Structure 1
Amino acid sequence: MSRLYHIKPRQDSRNRVARTLDFLAGVLLFWVFALAVLLIALPAHMAFCCSLLAASLMCLAGVRLQKWRKLKRQLHNRMWLAGEKLRIEIDNLKTRDDLIMFVGLLLDRSNQFEDVRVTPKDPVPILSIYRGSKVGIQCLPPSLPGAAADTGYCSEIIQQLGEDLEKGQYEKAFIVAIGEIHPRVRWLIKILGRNLQVALLSKEKLVELAVRAEQLSGGEEVFESGVKQERVVKETEPGIKEVVLAPKKGLRYLAAFFMLAVFYLFVHLTGLAAWVCLAFIIINGILALACFIANREKRGAFRLE
């Protein structure tokens, strides 16, 4: 679940009306298909009743599925927006001292660490108690995007951390790194972790820890900011015309038109089923034509909006 803080959710560009129309269209297509299949083996009235029952069950299941997906999408949006807020805050840390103070405050607000002591000038700037064990937290300097921090300095402070661990000054250690890590430094951390209890705290782990700390100290403040941003996203959703006549929908309407037309010609439907299928053929044909015309006009027009 914590990975959702770092994965940007896929946005559904459709508004509520468009989603409802797509859902109903799917149910109707299923009903037409079920009716056509059942008419092969059953009398017309029995096939109609059975297909209607199947479509109703599918509709109920679809409604429940859509509600579940909506709740899941909303939770994912809130988690990602909360994580994005904290990622921006972490990215704004420019110096090692800033990072040390941020991590110290973060650990102090967390319920996983106790007796947090921050001394930026010491070789190991943060000491704390983690699950009953004394730990030292070393912070690597933030780096510029695409570039690792000073390799020599990072190696020096990591070696100092290892020496303190070997002397028994603390039982475990964390190394905080929010930027690029040079391969040599990463190799040094790996070697250190083979013999001693050392763990790397990446930016992703800090974000997760910060979200939990925000929830503990400030209620749902971090999620409230996510809700506000989510509302802004919703307010900018396109209208039903933009969704129904979207460029990618044209080929779908055309494909549905040809599939239904072939189905109508080869199955030899009669009665109500034939009229319903014919209506869908006409509707999809009109929508495909309207979609292509609307998007051709959009490509030809160039103006400042």
Structure 2
Amino acid sequence: MLYAKKEPKEDTRSVLGRRFDQLCGLFLLWLASFLLLASTVERLLTALMFSIPLLVLEAVALRIFLNTIERKRQQRRRFWLAGKKLIEDISKVNSRNEFIHTVMELFARIPDFQTLSLNTSKKCDVNNEEQGIDLVGIYQGMPVAILCMRTEGDNRIKHSDIRSFAGALSLGGYKNGLFVTTGEYAPGLTRVVKEISRRGINIKLIDRLGLMNLALRTGLEALQEKDAKPGVSFPAAEERRAIFILIWNSVFRFEKAKSYFLFGLILYGGHILMRGTTFLSLFYLSFALLNILMGTVCLYLGRNVMGTDPLKGFEPDKQ
């Protein structure tokens, strides 16, 4: 999902209710660690002694985890409000030329675009209306053409619009194109795009929600949370924060959760096989728990608050 169409839900729990939920979560964490230690050392008193210091660490970790969840929830709501404002602004664009310049200004801020400019060789149809390609540029080192189309009311982009754009790409010698609209696409257009791709033309569809997503994302790489307000441009952050975000996204991406859980299960299997050897058994167990913990963090904190990048998967055909 590129953008939440519904307003993110507020946390309606009372302060007492949140505290109670935190205590229940802490108790379950302690109980799990105690049972795990008891099964490892096979002595309840020893397991209890080791679990008490762990309780303090678990309380700190749980507090950090819940605070991070709350910050992401608030950030998601701020992005929703900012996105709503952007959608309203895009809907108020009065002319096609104004929309084209808005798209050009937005795409020019995307690092993967090396160059971007207006297409000066547009063609007109029988009604003397411009059609075909509005913007041309270099994306990831390859030529890309962009068509910007405004829609009125509930009108949607149809199959014929996509096929016409594919024809314009073919005539212009382009193998890669972006179809950008202020509205939405009719059902079944994904099948049309796949059919066109078999002819060697790669097209990516971006609707108004995708535009909003990109508009927020262009300033999200180094976002300072206090600046995430509706109608405010997102500034670039300091270099150290940008490096931290890069490392975080590399280690705790949502897609990595499956790998962490898999390695955790493999290491736990090693722990079971090595139970006769205390040191190796604890070694495998500790790293198994670490991988499971990192997988859990990826599930809850790794998903980007902005969702999927609208340009993700758009890999220009280099043939």
Length-normalised TM-score, structure 1: 0.52
Q: 1:208 aligns with which of 180, 197, 213?
A: 213
Q: 1:166 & 1:114 partners in 2: Cα distance? A: 22
Q: 2:86 aligns with which of 82, 85, 89?
A: 89
- What is the correspondence of 1:11-160 to structure 2 with a 5 Å cutoff? 11-14=10-13, 18-24=17-23, 54=51, 57-58=54-55, 60-94=57-91, 97=96, 98-118=98-118, 122-123=130-131, 124-144=133-153, 147-149=154-156, 151=158, 155-156=160-161, 158-160=162-164
Distance 1:222 1:47, change over 3 A: closer
Confirm or deny: 8 A CA contact 2:148 2:180 kept in the other structure.
yes
Per-residue CA deviations over 1:24-48 (Å, capped at 9, x if unaligned) read: 467679999xxxxxxxxxxxxx999
Distance 1:228 1:128, change over 3 A: closer
- Structure 2 SS opposite 1:12: coil
Q: 2:76 & 2:27 partners in 1: Cα distance? A: 36
Which runs of 5 or more structure 2 residues have no equivalent in the other structure?
A: 32-42, 123-128, 233-319
Q: 1:31 & 1:183 partners in 2: Cα distance? A: 50
Deviation, 1:173, is 0.3
What letter corresponds to residue 212 of structure 2 in structure 1?
V
Distance 1:76 1:101, change over 3 A: farther
Q: Equivalent residue for 1:292?
A: none
Q: 1:77 & 1:86 partners in 2: Cα distance? A: 14
Q: 1:87 & 1:194 partners in 2: Cα distance? A: 36
Q: 2:152 & 2:58 partners in 1: Cα distance? A: 51
Distance 1:100 1:87, change over 3 A: farther
Higher helix share: 1
Which runs of 5 or more structure 1 residues have no equivalent in the other structure?
A: 33-45, 230-305
Q: Equivalent residue for 1:225?
A: 228
- Structure 2 SS opposite 1:116: strand
Deviation, 1:83, is 4.6
Q: 1:222 & 1:51 partners in 2: Cα distance? A: 41
Bigger radius of gyration, 1 or 2? 1
Distance 1:228 1:12, change over 3 A: farther
Confirm or deny: 8 A CA contact 1:126 1:138 kept in the other structure.
yes
Distance 1:222 1:175, change over 3 A: farther
- Structure 2 SS opposite 1:198: strand
